[in-house]
Structure 1
Amino acid sequence: MNTVQLRQKIESQLNQLSPERLALVSDFLDSIESTEPTDSSSLRKLPPIKRGKTAKDLLKYAGTWQGDDLEDCLNIVHKTRSETQF
């Protein structure tokens, strides 16, 4: 679906909404407009942040586990993870 078709579809959907729902759509659009960068091309011009290249380089940020719920946390991870497919 190209941009023109998408705009036509949205316009058709907007025409069918009640005033209350239309106000919700307006609020939503306001919220995404405020979070959208004004000039996304300027972000592409930034050089990459150079950091270490191995997991060993991240160890300086690692701490020790503090708390007594490590086993509970691991159990939650094991129960909720999904199998990886390659």
Structure 2
Amino acid sequence: MTIKELLLQEIESSSDTILAETLDFLRFIKTKETQTQPKPELVNSTGLSLLEHLKTIGQWEGDDLQECLELVYATRGKAQFDYDNPFE
């Protein structure tokens, strides 16, 4: 008998309570399996690589540059340092 056939045989003779727990456990294992998949490696960007990337983007087109800059200035957070900076 295959594993699937054995499981089906056990399912047929199990109570609804056991089946509910089994279903939860099976879903947990499947979720855990997808979370442990290897993640793609992060590549650290350098100043040079960023400048090279900018060359591929092209130039600003449109008439909303000033509006976009104002939005950036209006919504960006202000840094506040309440501790002594050892580098000053």
Is TM more than 0.5 here?
A: no
TM-score, normalised to structure 1, is 0.41
- Give TM-score scaled by structure 2 length: 0.40
- Larger CA Rg, structure 1 vs 2: 2
- Which of the pair has the greater relative contact order for Cα pairs under 8 Å at 6+ separation? 2
